[in-house]
Amino acid sequence: MTGRLGIDVGGTKVALRLEVAGQPPRETVLRWAAGATAEADLRALGEAVTGLCAGWGEPVGAVGAIGVAMPATVDHEGRVTAWPSRPSWTGLDLGPALRNLVPGAAVALADDGDLAALAEAEHAGAANLVYLGVGTGIGGGLVLDGRLCPGPARGSCEIGHLIIALDGPLCRCGRRGCLQAIASGPATLRRAGDLRAGNRRPTTSTSTSTATGTSTSTSTGTAASDAADAADAADADVDYPELREAWGAGSDWARTAVGMTAAALAAAVAGLTELVRPDLAVIGGGFADGLAGFVDEVAARTRALSRPGHPPVPVQAAQLGGLSSLAGALLLARTLDPTSG
């Protein structure tokens, strides 16, 4: 059993990469069916693994180690306790479920943000790094002295649930003002839809500086927008391709909507910098990766928040693009003994 498989499980899709010594890696993407049960999801995932191996010309049993990046909240026994994007997984015992994908393979799982941070730190050669991944939610991870913090035994680094606006929109976790309730892909799309329609709901405004030095009034939302801000991007009036095109064209509504997301991420980076002084902050995830100049906007806003006499942390785009978590899952698979499954 020589193959190593990395699986990055997301809220809307799953990315898989298969590595075999002496051969180029093979990849595939599975898109989740809307509203499917956990059992149906796992069957689809198993079929994707089988198809990937078939393209390699080997049976599934040739995979000896599997690393899995998961966005769900998982307890110390490996059971899913919360996953708003796939609620049917709540209560699922992940160990047996994942081992059934390839019987006999060694399997390990970790938080997707943590694994992304680990992969980006290795790629950049940085011993101290903070990673924020912008997608369906906000993932993140922190590497200090080359190791994940707080570490597997103490859970994941939930950067998406840093509270950055006390009167902000309601997060799916039940609290107000979490980073991901303001800066996730769905939150940004919904805000963009409101701005394009000219429907500025009553808001709590904050003044933020853009990369060009101008000042814009941005909002974090109120109770009137709670339900909408917590909904999926499918309910937004603006889809991602529309936002990307409008952002590139400099449309006011798109620049404002995305600028508010950049401001929220900058606030999180600035706060983390005060605590742990990372060498580098990395912004990744599919949402951020597709917006040209977005990371530069986050970097400019982070610099604006630095204290006099304290150099701001460098902010750069993820060098592994939207594949950081997948690369981390493969790193995890490489640490496993294929004979221990």
Distance, C-alpha 104 to centroid of its chain: 30
Average pLDDT over residues 167-196: 94
- What is the per-residue pLDDT across 65-86, written as a single tens digit (0 to 9) for each? 999 999 888 888 889 998 888 9
- Residue 281, helix vs strand vs coil: strand
Characterise 174 by phi-psi region: left (phi > 0), alpha (psi -120 to 50), beta (else): left
The per-residue pLDDT for 339 is: 63
Residues near 250 by beta carbon (within 8 Å), at least 6 away in sequence: none
Q: Give the pLDDT band (50/70/90) at residue 145.
A: very high
Provide the β-strand partners of residue 8: 15, 69
Domains in the chain, CATH or no CATH each: 3-112+323-340 (3.30.420.40), 116-322 (3.30.420.40)
- Residue-wise pLDDT tens digits, 297-310: 999 999 999 999 99
Segment (H or E) for 285: none
Percent with pLDDT over 70 in the chain: 86
What is the per-residue pLDDT for 21?
Answer: 78
- What are the start-end ranges of the H helices in the chain? 38-56, 94-99, 112-124, 179-183, 185-196, 226-229, 240-249, 252-276, 286-289, 294-304, 324-334
pLDDT-derived band at 218 (thresholds 50, 70, 90) equals: very low
Separation CA 18–CA 281 (nearest Å): 29
Return mean pLDDT, the chain. 86
